[in-house]
Chains A and B, each alone.
Chain A
Amino acid sequence: MKYSLFRFKDVFEAIAIYLICFASNLLFIYVQTVNLEVSFILESFIESITEYQLIITILLTFMIIVFHYQFLNRRKTEISCRILVGDTMLKIIIRYILNSLAVLGFSFLLSLSLNFYLDVNVTSNFYLVFIFMLYILSSAGLVKKE
């Protein structure tokens, strides 16, 4: 991540949010496969949450939009400085996209361990990866200088 806009703290925050989204999606899928018939109370409680699985997961992914928004707002001064010392906006945007995708890829690989642990299909989080990629590409438009 040479010349990256990301610091360790940012990478850590992004990974944490990605993992929360991936894990919640996997847990939703997992609880639906668990036999909860021993406790109807528990079963109906879980059902009333899993009923809105897709909406809840999509709403949680909004946190990644928040992350990119605040991240790029805080990096405006740094971007201006980089341009002053010879960097170009295009290179900064490409680096930002590649770095963001790397963080996403790393988080997805980490989440695979939960896939294997819960014995949930590895493709379950693919749609989220696609949504996150869209967010990253859209947020590239926010890479601006001060």
Chain B
Amino acid sequence: MRILRFFITRIFLKRWILVLGMIILLFLANYLSFTAARSIISTFQGFQQIETLNQDGTFIANLDPDSKAEDETVNIDKTRKLYEYLHNNYTYALQADGFVTSLDNEHKMEVTFNYINEEAYKINQLRLSQGNHLNFIYQLNKDQIPVLVGAGLAKTYPVGSTIEIKDPVTQQLVNLNVQGVLKKNTYRSNFYAPNSKNYFNFSIFLPVNEEFIQSAGLDLHVNGLMDIALLDSNEEEAMNLKEYIQENLGMKFNFFTQQENVDYFEEYYIYSLKIICTITLLLLLIIVCLAIWNNLISIRLMIKDFTINLVVGLSYSKLRAIFYGYFGLLISITLALLFALIAFNRYGFWLGKANLLATYGIFGLISMDWIALLIVLFIDLIIAFTIVELTIKKIKRIPISVGVLN
């Protein structure tokens, strides 16, 4: 330890520009690997969530990119009729997120209402930290509506409390009864962008039944339709619905089968992840080459000091250990910088009151950040091994006499 401290303070830090250069390169390598690792983990998590929908008999609606929703053809009467038709002829999962409303809470965040029907609720299998699951049997204007609240609202609205609020989609004054609290960082991945997530720490899950849907406004009807999933259905039924929507609302929806979805997602994910990995590897290679160059020029400048120590009894194995210790320190510094950057970014969502991005975690970092950091650490170890071994090889190739001459 003393010899390591001696080398760091008396030899490496004597040329601090080179040390700073190495820290910058390691930091860039770390940030790049972290971004790639987190993208891959997040995509994988999203894919796992979406996979629950990829079952036989499930058809997921997707608005055709060429379809234009014409305002004059879509009105509340038509959408009500459509949902009635859906209710009578199909089993469907409906979930519409992101209806923002203001509701007092200790973090002064805006709150989003997420509307979910029973089928979608069964598929999503939301996990609770307190309370009970939702029930969907209630009368809109008579009963209190049981709801689930996100972890960020649990202190202000604990289980059993009631919330009186004007519902954003029915525009009616409703009485909500908090039935349960969602586990921290419960999320939903975007169906077509699985690496992007909405966190429900400041959301309220409101169960919707047929009566509620019929009382809701056009916003819920149209938004709900965008990701609607037909369950236990077949191609003919999906085609019928497609034609029904096109005739009545003038909107063209595609309903993809399970196989089509699996094929599309696999091709889409694998293509994207391949490109991400290629870009990351190429950039990492350039950065590592620069780091190796930076270290080799350090050797050129410090060879005199190394030789003196080798002459007075320092062995190559001890020198190797010193280099590993030195790189261990540099990696710790860069990881600490990266950690601070991620924590600051996560904290930024709280400061910016981004209610769908604010998350809970140890030092503000969530599980996928920690996994990505572990991957970064592993990549750092490979980089450190490569650089140190090349450096030792280079030092061994320089004759002691040349070093002494220096």
Contact = CB atoms under 8 A, between A and B. Distances in A.
A45 B18 contact: no
Interface stretch (A57-65, A92-100, A115-123, A125-133): A57-65
Nearest to A31: B279
Contacts of A45: 35-36, 39, 195, 276, 279
Given A40-B193, A42-B276, A44-B196, A70 B18 contact: yes
A65 B273 CA distance: 35
A4 interface: no
Interface centre among A40, A60, A63, A66 (most CB of B within 10 A): A66
Given A20-B286, A66-B294, A44 B39 contact: yes
Interface size class of B (residues with CB under 8 A): 35 or more
Interface in A66-82: 66, 69-70, 73-74
B316 interface: no
Given A62-B20, A63-B290, A66-B21, A41 B43 contact: yes
A41 B44 CA distance: 11
A44 B17 contact: no
Interface centre among A13, A41, A69, A73 (most CB of B within 10 A): A41
Interface of A: 13, 17, 20, 39-42, 44-45, 48-49, 52, 56, 59-60, 62-63, 65-66, 69-70, 73-74
Interface string B300-333: 1100000000000000000000000000000000
Given A59-B24, A59-B28, A63-B290, A40 B196 contact: yes
5 contacts: A13-B293, A44-B193, A59-B28, A62-B24, A69-B18
B21 A63 contact: yes
Chain A contact surface mostly: helix
Interface in B8-25: 15, 17-18, 20-21, 24-25
Contacts of B293: 13
B264 interface: no
A70 B300 contact: yes
Given A59-B24, A74-B300, A42 B18 contact: no
Contacts, number: 73
A74 B103 CA distance: 67
Given A42-B275, A62-B21, A49 B300 contact: no
A22 B271 CA distance: 28
A69 to B, nearest CB: 5
B39 A41 contact: yes
B269 interface: yes
A44 B300 CA distance: 41
Contact of B272 (A39, A60, A73): A39
B222 interface: no
B39 A60 contact: no
B268 interface: yes
A63 B190 CA distance: 40
A74 B279 CA distance: 35
A41 B194 contact: yes
Contacts of B279: 45
Contacts of B294: 63, 66
Interface in B328-375: none
B173 interface: no
Nearest to A20: B286
B288 to A, nearest CB: 13
A73 B35 CA distance: 37
Nearest to B272: A41
B276 A48 contact: no
Nearest to A70: B297
A69 B15 CA distance: 9
B195 A40 contact: yes
Interface centre among B15, B21, B193, B301 (most CB of A within 10 A): B21
Contacts of B24: 59-60, 62
